[in-house]
Structure 1
Amino acid sequence: MSALLEITNAKIIYDSAVEAVRDVSLSVDEGRVVALLGSNGAGKSTLLKAITGGLEFEEGVLEKGSVRYGGQDLAGRPTEWIVRNGLALVPEGRRLFINLTVEENLVMGAHLKSAPEMRRMKEEVFDLFPRLYERRSQISGYLSGGEQQMVAVGRALMSQPRLLALDEPSLGLAPLVIDAIYDTIGRMRDELKMTILLVEQNAVQAMGLADYVYIMENGRIVLDGPAQTMRNNADVQEYYLGMAGGEAGRKSFRDVKHYKRRKRWLS
């Protein structure tokens, strides 16, 4: 498999002073789901901004390393070029045009496409999300959180992406809705052969779907591997899946931090 997205030794700083990402390398192979996991502040969103052209809006700079998509360097590329070349982002918080209908939001995602392409993509989106077809004439601001997330994903799909980046798709949603969203992400990979970068805090859901997993802390990749291997890793089970000794049993964040500190002192 060839890597569609490659980040190599990336160092990203804000305001010429704050180092948000340190020496990060990761790759996303075509046709696979790759999960990037980590808590708030780990640097996940900063990496997404480097991929989708959003760093410059927040005084961010890729000071070292490279970000390549489809073999081309993304440094300095405007967002429109990135979208036109098949990389789409579903941002955290959905960011819909809340005064527009569901269908109007979808059309906004296809503004670079021809009318026949737009019609075909709408059919694909409505096939993936039948509920959106039922709600197509409703104002998006009045939809439930889960329905708004479906619109956000559908809008990104309207651009016919080669690579779809999803930023916290499960955030703030009920468990049943999360299951439905993840089922659809799996269909996008299996039926549409789509390449997906899944940025999440919900480790259980993400590892259940992903082919490969990276875990990020404090601006660095601290662990990576095939999803099955990661699920069986004792450290991952304890710190990210809420398991101790391979048996279910949630640990509090305080307990985890205490254990890490003690382990570091004794080493």
Structure 2
Amino acid sequence: MMQTVSPSAPDVRAELGALLEIRNAQIIYDNAVEAVRDVSLSVPEGAVVALLGSNGAGKSTLLKAVTGTLHLEEGELTKGSIRYAEEDIGHARTERIVSQGLILVPEGRRLFANLTVEENLTMGAYRKTAAEMRRLKSMVFDLFPRLHERRAQISGYLSGGEQQMVAVGRALMAEPRLLALDEPSLGLAPLIIDSIYQTIDRMRHELKMTIFLVEQNASQAMEIADYVYIMENGRVVLDGPAEKMRSNLDVQEYYLGFSAGGGERKSFRDIKHYKRRKRWLS
């Protein structure tokens, strides 16, 4: 049976006001396919909140609802609400959401591949003055020194890790109040992932940034998150402070890949009975 997180555990959500609040959200595609069912979560101001789960769990669908892009794929928020900075954005367009400071770094980077690194950064700050652009570029180059070295290179020829740095840097040029990161570790080598996550941690501490992190890489995400939600089959099945989630035996076994005995690494083949045990979903 699933080990639950102690209700007496410190809850970062109780200490900080919610900047993003999702309540009982249901999302349906093509008026037929339910992708998200009765999901509630909150992202407090100044916190890092991680939304974890395997491919197809509904994470990206929820993020599309938050960033106003559901309609591009015939998706619709049919029940519940999404509020950002105390405003209802459940059916708002992307341009309105972006103007309020909620900025997305999309899965797969989606750079302007034919533009240079510096031109991509400029595109992220198209509403800024020349002086503001210089200040923001200096901040990005401080976070990502490699981008300063590559600033005149065409973005499409960069490595995957460097492209991810450009994607994050472009988002920072808009001075987000809330930065949403969709699978920032996808397709990257372990050393590059470590570097990206070190920078995300710096952004939280040095820039006091609120971050909503959507990931499959549970181990990395839990290391920097304050609070964690886990999704399966369109539902949140478990949530709690990151420290408590890391010590949860079921999370260790099924999401971090460690058995209860001796910290031995387990393979997917060893834990394939997991789906048969997920009775909390029924």
CA deviations on 1:34-68 (whole Å, 9 max, x unpaired) are: 00000000000001000101001000000000000
| CA distance in structure 1 between the partners assigned to 2:65 and 2:278 by the alignment | 34
- 1:123 — aligned with what? 138
- 2:117 — aligned with what? 102
Out of 215, 228, 238, the position equivalent to 1:213 is 228
Please report how far the alpha carbon of residue 117 of structure 1 lies from its aligned counterpart in structure 2 after TM superposition: 1.7
Out of 69, 72, 75, the position equivalent to 1:57 is 72
Alignment check: 8 A CA contact 1:22 1:219 kept: yes
**Following superposition, which runs of at least 4 residues in structure 1 exceed 6 angstroms of deviation?**
none
| CA distance in structure 1 between the partners assigned to 2:274 and 2:206 by the alignment | 43
Matched, 1:136 2:178: no
Residues 259/215 of structure 1: CA separation in 2 closer, same or farther (3 Å cut): closer
| CA distance in structure 1 between the partners assigned to 2:278 and 2:182 by the alignment | 32
Please report how far the alpha carbon of residue 84 of structure 1 lies from its aligned counterpart in structure 2 after TM superposition: 1.1
- 1:34 — aligned with what? 49
- 1:93 — aligned with what? 108
Please report how far the alpha carbon of residue 77 of structure 1 lies from its aligned counterpart in structure 2 after TM superposition: 1.5
| CA distance in structure 1 between the partners assigned to 2:168 and 2:28 by the alignment | 29
- 1:150 — aligned with what? 165
Q: 5+ unaligned residues in a row in structure 1: which ranges? A: none
Alignment check: 8 A CA contact 2:22 2:42 kept: yes
| CA distance in structure 2 between the partners assigned to 1:50 and 1:119 by the alignment | 33
Q: Name the Cα RMSD after superposition.
A: 1.4
Write out aligned runs for 1:135-214 (5 A): 135-214=150-229
TM-score normalized with structure 2 length: 0.91
Alignment check: 8 A CA contact 2:254 2:274 kept: no
| CA distance in structure 1 between the partners assigned to 2:277 and 2:105 by the alignment | 39
Matched, 1:5 2:2: no
| CA distance in structure 1 between the partners assigned to 2:192 and 2:208 by the alignment | 23
CA deviations on 1:54-94 (whole Å, 9 max, x unpaired) are: 00100000000000000000023211111111000000100
Alignment check: 8 A CA contact 1:33 1:198 kept: yes
Alignment check: 8 A CA contact 1:238 1:244 kept: yes
Q: 5+ unaligned residues in a row in structure 2: which ranges? A: 1-15
Residues 259/88 of structure 1: CA separation in 2 closer, same or farther (3 Å cut): closer
| CA distance in structure 2 between the partners assigned to 1:3 and 1:208 by the alignment | 21
| CA distance in structure 2 between the partners assigned to 1:137 and 1:232 by the alignment | 45
Matched, 1:225 2:226: no
Q: How many residues align?
A: 265
- 1:15 — aligned with what? 30
Please report how far the alpha carbon of residue 259 of structure 1 lies from its aligned counterpart in structure 2 after TM superposition: 4.3
| CA distance in structure 2 between the partners assigned to 1:154 and 1:45 by the alignment | 21
Identity among equivalent positions (%) equals 77
Please report how far the alpha carbon of residue 263 of structure 1 lies from its aligned counterpart in structure 2 after TM superposition: 7.4
Please report how far the alpha carbon of residue 114 of structure 1 lies from its aligned counterpart in structure 2 after TM superposition: 2.2
- 2:4 — aligned with what? none
Alignment check: 8 A CA contact 2:68 2:94 kept: yes
- The one-letter code of the counterpart of 2:52 is L
- The one-letter code of the counterpart of 1:114 is T
| CA distance in structure 2 between the partners assigned to 1:135 and 1:73 by the alignment | 40
